[in-house]
Amino acid sequence: MEKIIVIGNGMVGYKFCEKLRAKADKNKFEITVFGEEPHPAYDRVHLSEYFTNPSVENLEMAPRSWYEENDIELISGEMINQIDRVNKTVTSHKGTTLSYDKLILATGSSAFVPPINGVEKEGVFVYRTIEDLDAIIDYSKKTKKAAVLGGGLLGLEAAKAMIDLKQETHVIEFAPRLMPRQLDEAGSNALITKMEDLGLTIHLNKNTKNISGEEKMTGMEFQDDSELDVEMLVISAGIKPRDELATACGLAVGPRGGIVVNDLLQTDDTNIFAIGECALHKNMIYGLVAPGYEMADVVVNQLIGDNDKAFESYDMSTKLKLIGVDVASFGNAICENEAHKPIVFEDKHAGIYKRINISEDGQRLLGGILVGEAEAYNMLLQVTLNGMALPPQPEDLILGSRGGEEAKMELPDTAQICSCENVTKGDISQAIIDNEYEDLADVKACTKAGTGCGACNPIVKDIFNDQWAKMGKTVKNVICEHFDYTRQELLDIIKIKKIQDYNQLLDEYGKGDGCETCRPAVASILASTWNEMILEKGKDAIQDTNDKYLANIQKGGSYSVVPRIPGGEITPDKLIVIGEVAKKYDLYTKITGGQRIDLFGAQVHQLPDIWEELINAGFESGHAYGKSLRTVKSCVGSTWCRYGLHDSVSFAIEVEERYRGLRSPHKLKSAVSGCRRECAEAQSKDFGIIATEEGWNLYVCGNGGSNPQHALLLAGDIDSETCLKYIDRFLMFYIRTAEPLNRTSTWLNKLEGGIDYLKEVIVEDSLGIGEELEREMDFMINTYKCEWKEVVNNPELRKRFTHFVNTSIPDPTMKFEEMRGQKKPVEWGA
C-alpha cells in the first residue's frame, strides 16, 4: 500500500483526499493528513458568515467522522516543521515522524502583512483563520471604529465582517481604485457608491506609514500626512505562499515566494507535489479555490496512473456578493493589453455598471465587468470561454433583447459550468438523464457542481430546468435548497397546518439552518397569512434589515420616517405636526412622487419618539420599508378639477386605507385618476384605477422603475364596489401564486395565459375561488394594526431601537452638513 502524506488540511488538501478516495481503491493508498488548526477542513470562501453564525461546524467541508469513514488519518493541531527528502519522512513540532512514498504540499498561504511601523500593536489583526476571527470578534466588543487595509476581494470581505460587528468601517486601499485587478475605474466608482450607501468609508491612494498609539493602536498615519482615528485594524492586503517547509528542505521556490511546480504539479523532487496557493505554476500563484481543486485532480490522476491530464493556465473569472452587492469580472476584464471594442452600460442612479469587451473583428467576447447586477455572469463567462458566436447586436448581452423575440444562446455540452469541480454542461445533463433526478440538490450531490464557491448555481439550475423541459417533465421551482417546496406550496402548508413560526416550519418541512433567501420569504408569507406584528414572537430574526427597524436605512447610517398620507390628502394641522417634528429632530423633508412627505436623517434611537408624536397626531406607518402597499396616488378629481368625472381623492383614500399594511411578495403601488387625462399615472402602477363616464377602469400589473411596463386592462366601466372586489381577488391571488420578490408585472409575464387567464380567474371566477380570496382579504383588513403604533405602546419593542447594545448614547459618528436650509449626510472622504 502506497503511503500518501498531505501537509495542509485546507479546502484544497481536503479536496485532494476526497478525489483520491473517489477514484482509487481504499486498499491502494494509505492517507495521512496533517493540519495546523484544531478543526477539520473548513470553507474559507464563506468565512465571513462566521460573524453572523459563529459555528465552525457550519463551515466544515466534512465532519471528522468523514475522515474515519474513508480510512484517512487526520492529525489536527499539529504542524510539520521538517521534511527529510533522503529518508522520505516528515516530522511535526510534537515529534511525530512518519514516512511517505508521495508527499502532497497543500500548505496554502498566510496573510501578507506590509512592513508598516506599528503592526505589532494591540488591535491589529489579520483575516485568515477561525482563530483570527474569534480574536477580531472578541476585540470588537470594546471598539466602535475599525479600518480594513486592502480594497481587494479579501479586504472587502473583511469590511463586510466589520459591518456585521457594528463597527464604523473604513477601507484603506493603496491603488487608485477598488479591486484593481478585477475592475476598471468606472466599475470601481459604481462599487464605491454602493458601499458608501451601506455605511462604508472608502479611502483610495492611501499609503500607510505608521500605526499610532502606545501598546494599543489608536489610529493610522499616511504618507500624505493625513490621519485616521480608528481603534482596530484588520489587514487583508493579499496573501503570501506558505513555502517555508519547501525552502528548508531544498525545494525550488520563486523569487517572490511559491513552490515551483511543473504542469504535473511536481516539485523538483518527483515524489513531492504542491497544490493550491502554495504552488507557483509558470510564475503564477492562484488565489481562488477552483484552480486549487483542479490541481488536486491533476495530482490524483498522476497517482492512479492517468498521465493524460496536466495543469494549464487557469481562468480567474470570479463572481461574488460583497456586502450585498453583486460584483463579477470574467475573461480579459480590463483589456489593457489587447485590442478591443468596449460596450458600456452605466446607471449611476441605480449603481449598476456593465462592460463587455468585443474583439476588433466583432466576432468574439473577450471579457467584461459587472457591478450591481450580475445575473448574466454565468452566460457571459461561457460565451467567453467557448468562443460562442455573438448576437447581431452584441449590446443585447448586457441590455437584453430590446425588441422582437429574445435570442436564446445554447451552450455546448463541453462548456465548463463549475470551474471548482471541473463539471461540464454535458456532465450535468447526463446525470439528470441517467438518474432521472427530480431534485436539484441530487444533481449537485452527484456532479459536485455548485458545491465550491457557488457562483455557478444559477446556471446549474437553468440547465436542470432546461433538461427537464426537454425530457417532457414539469420543473418544480422550489424556494431554496432548505425547502423542497414552491412559495405557493409553503403558503398552503402554513395555512393548512396553522404554522406561525419560521423555526417550526423549518423543523417540520425544511432542512438545514435556512438562508437569506428563505427567511425573508417565509417572513412575508407569515405576514400575508396571519397579519401579526412582524417584530414579535421571534419574527424579527427573519426580517430584512429595513423591516427590523421599521424604517429604511439611508446614506450615512441614518433612517427615514415616512408617515402614511392616504391619497395624498392632508390637513393643515397635520402638515404643521410634520413640520414641527422635522424641526424638533432636525430632519430633512421631501415631498415624494408618491404624494407623501418623507423625513430623512433620524437616528435609530429617535425613531420611537418621532413616531410617538406622529401617532398622537393621527398618522400611521407608511410602510416605505416593507414589501407591502406603499401609496395610492390621486389627482384632485371631480372635487376641484373641471375635467374630473369622479371623486378620485375619496376613492384613493378608501383604497389606501383598505389595503394598508398588506404584506406581499414585493412592494405594491396604486393610483386613482379622475379622468382619462391620467394625472395620477395609474397605468404605471401594480393596480391603477381610471374614471370613465360609466364608472371605473381597473388596470393591473404595471410598474415604473428600471424596467417599466404598462398596466393592462382587467375590467372596464365597473362600479366602486365591483372594483374593490376585483382588487381583493387580484391581490390575494398574486400573494398566493407569485414567486418571492416578483413584482406584479414579472408575475404576470410568467403567468401561463397572461392577462386573459387572469381575467378568467378574477372576473369570471373560473377557478371558483373568488369568494375565498375575498374572505382572505377581509381577514387582512379586519386584523390590520399600525406597526409603529404597536412599537410606541410596547416598552419591550421600544428597547430594540438603540445604536449600541450596552449604552443609550446616540451614534457619535454620523455627520451632516447644510444644503438649501436643510441637512444632508456629509459626503464620504469630505
3-state secondary structure of 200: coil
Judgement on whether residues 697 and 776 belong to the same structural domain of the protein: yes
Domain assignment of residue 406, yes or no:
no
Across the chain, which distance is largest between two alpha carbons, in Å? 101
**How many structural domains comprise the chain?**
6
Domain assignment of residue 815, yes or no:
no
Domain assignment of residue 478, yes or no:
no
Judgement on whether residues 611 and 698 belong to the same structural domain of the protein: yes
Judgement on whether residues 269 and 231 belong to the same structural domain of the protein: no
- Residue 666 sits in a domain of what CATH number? 3.30.413.10
Question: Which residues span the domain enclosing 441?
Answer: 416-470
Domain assignment of residue 294, yes or no:
yes
pLDDT in the model for residue 407: 45
How many secondary structure helices (H) and strands (E) does the chain include?
A: 27, 37
Judgement on whether residues 693 and 752 belong to the same structural domain of the protein: yes
C-alpha cell at 326: 453583486
pLDDT in the model for residue 409: 63
Judgement on whether residues 625 and 764 belong to the same structural domain of the protein: yes
Q: How far apart are CA 483 and CA 471, in angstroms?
A: 24
What backbone phi and psi angles, to 5 degrees, belong to 65? -65, -25
How many CA atoms does the CB half-sphere of 764 hold within 13 Å? 9
For strands 822-825 and 816-819, give the pairing. antiparallel
Domain assignment of residue 776, yes or no:
yes
**Band of pLDDT at residue 403, cut at 50, 70 and 90:** very low
Domain assignment of residue 773, yes or no:
yes
pLDDT in the model for residue 249: 96
Q: What DSSP letter does each residue of 668-718 carry, written as one string? A: EEEEEESSTT-TT-GGGSSEEEEE-SSSEEEEES-B-TTS-B--EEEEEEE
Residue 723 carries which DSSP code?
Answer: H
pLDDT score of 406 more than 50? no
- Beta-ladder partners of 347: 352
Element (H, E) at 32: strand 29-35
Judgement on whether residues 134 and 224 belong to the same structural domain of the protein: yes
Residue 558 carries which DSSP code?
Answer: -
Highest mean pLDDT among 56-60, 349-353, 674-678: 674-678
Judgement on whether residues 463 and 588 belong to the same structural domain of the protein: no
Judgement on whether residues 771 and 675 belong to the same structural domain of the protein: yes
Judgement on whether residues 420 and 458 belong to the same structural domain of the protein: yes
**Band of pLDDT at residue 133, cut at 50, 70 and 90:** very high
Torsion of CA 421, 425, 427, 431, to 10 degrees: 120
C-alpha cell at 739: 414567486
Judgement on whether residues 653 and 766 belong to the same structural domain of the protein: yes
Among 464-478, 626-640, 682-696, the minimum mean pLDDT is found in 464-478
Domain assignment of residue 71, yes or no:
yes
Residue 112's contacts (CB-CB under 8 Å, 6 or more residues apart) are: 237, 238, 239, 240
Q: How far is CA 714 from the centre of its chain?
A: 36
Judgement on whether residues 219 and 362 belong to the same structural domain of the protein: no
For strands 124-126 and 232-235, give the pairing. parallel
Among 79-93, 266-280, 366-380, 623-637, the minimum mean pLDDT is found in 366-380
- Residue 134 sits in a domain of what CATH number? 3.50.50.60
**pLDDT above 70 coverage of the chain, percent:** 95
Average pLDDT over residues 435-451: 83
Average pLDDT over residues 388-409: 69
Residue that wins the pLDDT comparison between 754 and 598? 598
Helices (H), 108-207: 130-140, 153-164, 185-197
C-alpha cell at 76: 489536527
- Residue 378 sits in a domain of what CATH number? 3.30.390.30
Judgement on whether residues 207 and 348 belong to the same structural domain of the protein: no
Residue with cell 503592526: 119
Residue 21's contacts (CB-CB under 8 Å, 6 or more residues apart) are: 31, 70, 72
Q: How far apart are CA 205 and CA 172, in angstroms?
A: 8
Last residue of a domain, one of 399, 427, 450: 399
Tens of pLDDT along 331-376? 898 887 888 999 999 888 777 899 999 998 888 999 999 998 887 8
Q: How far apart are CA 665 and CA 626, in angstroms?
A: 10
Q: Which of 312, 797, 781 is nearest to 536 (CA)?
A: 797
Apex CA 249: angle with CA 244 and CA 252, to 5°? 75
Last residue of a domain, one of 303, 331, 351: 303
HEC readout, 750-802: HCCCHHHHHHHHHCCCCCCCHHHHHHHHHHHHHCCCCHHHHHHCCHHHHCCCC
pLDDT score of 254 more than 90? yes
Among 52-61, 237-246, 318-327, the minimum mean pLDDT is found in 318-327
Q: How far apart are CA 4 and CA 103, in angstroms?
A: 6
pLDDT score of 669 more than 90? yes
Tens of pLDDT along 601-657? 998 889 999 999 999 999 999 999 999 999 999 999 999 998 899 999 999 999 999
Helices (H), 502-634: 502-509, 518-530, 545-548, 572-584, 607-616
Domain assignment of residue 135, yes or no:
yes
Torsion of CA 367, 399, 685, 591, to 10 degrees: 70
C-alpha distances out from residue 92 to 7, 83, 145, 214, 597, Å: 10, 9, 40, 37, 69
pLDDT score of 701 more than 70? yes
pLDDT score of 829 more than 60? no
pLDDT in the model for residue 823: 87
Among 93-97, 326-330, 415-419, 473-477, the minimum mean pLDDT is found in 473-477
Tens of pLDDT along 554-573? 877 788 999 999 999 999 99
